[in-house]
Amino acid sequence: MSEYFHSVRLTPERCKGCVNCIKRCPTEAIRIRGGKAKITEARCIDCGECIRRCANRAKTAVTDSLDDLKDYKYNVALPAPALYSQFSADVPANVVLCALMHLGFDEVFEVALGAEIVSDATVEYLKRRDAKKPAISSACPAVVRLVQVKFPELIDNLIPLEAPVEVAARLVRSTRCRELGIAPEDIGVWFITPCPAKMTAFKQPLGAEKSSVTGAIGISQIYGELLKAVAVVPRDANCQRATARGVGWALSGGETSAAAAGNSMVIDEIHNVSEVLEQVALGKIKVDFIEALACSGGCIGGPLTVENRFVAEHRMHQRLAKMRAEDEAHGAAPAKYHPDSSLTEYDRTIEPRPIMRLDEDIFKAMYKVEQMEKTLNKLPGLDCGSCGSPNCKALAEDIVQGEAVETDCIFKLRERVRDLAQEMVGLAAKLPPSLEEREEN
């Protein structure tokens, strides 16, 4: 197996070698080689931006399927809060949840409950004196990976708390093992996911040594069956516990309001996140808390969701308004699990994975930087992507790394061809001295 597990993959037969994905990848992880896109694994953060941009649907996310449930005695579905946004607000949350049971799960446990617990833990964390500010939320795995590869200097600013899904999984796994007397390996805990980044997070956990989540099933993958099930589930089915505070995490800004973070900032969409983190790294942004999400609008805009992001957002707002009213009428309080630290804390530290470095040897790296700057000055600066690298800067880097040559740039190639052609015309005009009439004195 390769060093990094990645959920985002390429189907080569579908790839036409266009430049749409390479130009949008936030870490410049993709190159076109031999007419097909290639992802450099060490750079990929599984944000799914390339899945969104590919018109040929050549980029896909590897997730698990309902077939995998049969390998376990007891299966629990952990629906992401974003799942509710895929249905009209008239379909009550409990109906959506019970519909999951029709798909073969033995139990449904809301990730929103995990979100409520993490909200509490975040409130506590922000009060700590040793908390490094600005504290950056670690709930979105694509953002955590972006920090690892592009902003290693900000790793200490990441809040060392597990994501809601991991907390929910730990909770349900440990209680069910006890109550039902099942061995941990016989319980399948499945995240119903809006994004590929979560899948990667389970296969290659960011914080925990081993994830409590068995696997992830994309929302889009089961949406059809879920729609059918929703139609037959009785409206008064009883499947729901989480309150608006946890469910609100589906939208960008939901975490901030759930954690009642005062001096805070909410950023969504991976390129915006990257730009703002750049400024944080320059010491420019003085806030206490930053909620950063890779998808536009938050998880409702995840690459494995089905509904249009704006439709989903609108529905979610309607649903939340309803839920708040109901919560109040029933006096429902958010899950009051005491922030048990073993539930929410990271088991290990997040390592930097810097991708910028040109060479292990600092002298060689400095030499390469100089060569790169020189090469870059000669390139046209159009960032057209025709060379297969996302922009001229990346091509210059590929050239010093020996992975490309200057004439991969079509403008450079044309220049060379023109120079050669002129030389040939010049040569063609020349006659051998034996034929040439020379003026003799």
Residues at the site binding ligand SF4, with contacts judged by CB under 6 A? 8, 25-27, 29-30, 39, 44-50, 140, 142, 194-195, 197-198, 293-295, 298-299, 302
Q: How far is the CB of 295 from another protein (least distance, A)?
A: 25
Tokens read off for 420:
């050669």
**With CB cut-offs between 5 and 8 Å by kind, which of ligand SF4, another protein, none does residue 153 bind?**
another protein
CA dist 358 and 174 (Å) reads: 45
By CB under 8 A, tell whether 367 contacts another protein. Answer: yes
By CB under 8 A, tell whether 372 contacts another protein. Answer: yes
In 11-110, where does DSSP find H-type helix?
Answer: 20-24, 49-53, 93-102
By CB under 8 A, tell whether 181 contacts another protein. Answer: no
Question: Measured from the CB atom, is 24 or 314 closer to ligand SF4?
Answer: 24
Tokens read off for 52:
């969104």
Residues 209-268 that bind another protein (CB under 8 A): none
Q: How far is the CB of 54 from ligand SF4 (least distance, A)?
A: 9
Q: How far is the CB of 237 from ligand SF4 (least distance, A)?
A: 27
CA dist 199 and 207 (Å) reads: 14
By CB under 8 A, tell whether 357 contacts another protein. Answer: yes
- The interface region with another protein, picked from 24-32, 273-281, 307-315, 426-434 by CB under 8 A, is 273-281
Q: How far is the CB of 391 from another protein (least distance, A)?
A: 13
- Dump strand ranges (E) for 29-148: 30-33, 36-39, 59-61, 74-79, 107-108, 135-136
Size of the site for another protein (CB under 8 A): 25
SS3 390: coil
- Any idea how long the chain is? 441
With CA atoms as reference, report the closest residue to 111 among 93, 95, 137.
93
CA dist 224 and 228 (Å) reads: 7
SS3 266: strand
Centre a 10 Å sphere on the Cβ of residue 126 and count the other Cβ atoms it contains: 19
Q: How far is the CB of 27 from another protein (least distance, A)?
A: 13
Residue 31 DSSP class: E
**With CB cut-offs between 5 and 8 Å by kind, which of another protein, ligand SF4, none does residue 30 bind?**
ligand SF4
- Dump strand ranges (E) for 80-210: 107-108, 135-136, 187-193
**For helices 270-281 and 141-150, angle between their N-to-C axes, nearest 10 degrees:** 50
Q: How far is the CB of 402 from another protein (least distance, A)?
A: 15
- The interface region with another protein, picked from 123-131, 266-274, 282-290, 333-341 by CB under 8 A, is 282-290
Q: How far is the CB of 141 from another protein (least distance, A)?
A: 20
Residues 102-141 that bind another protein (CB under 8 A): none
Q: Are strands 289-293 and 264-268 parallel, antiparallel or unpaired?
A: parallel
Give the interface with another protein as residue ranges (CB under 8 A). Answer: 152-153, 155, 278-279, 281-284, 352, 354, 356-360, 362-363, 365-370, 372
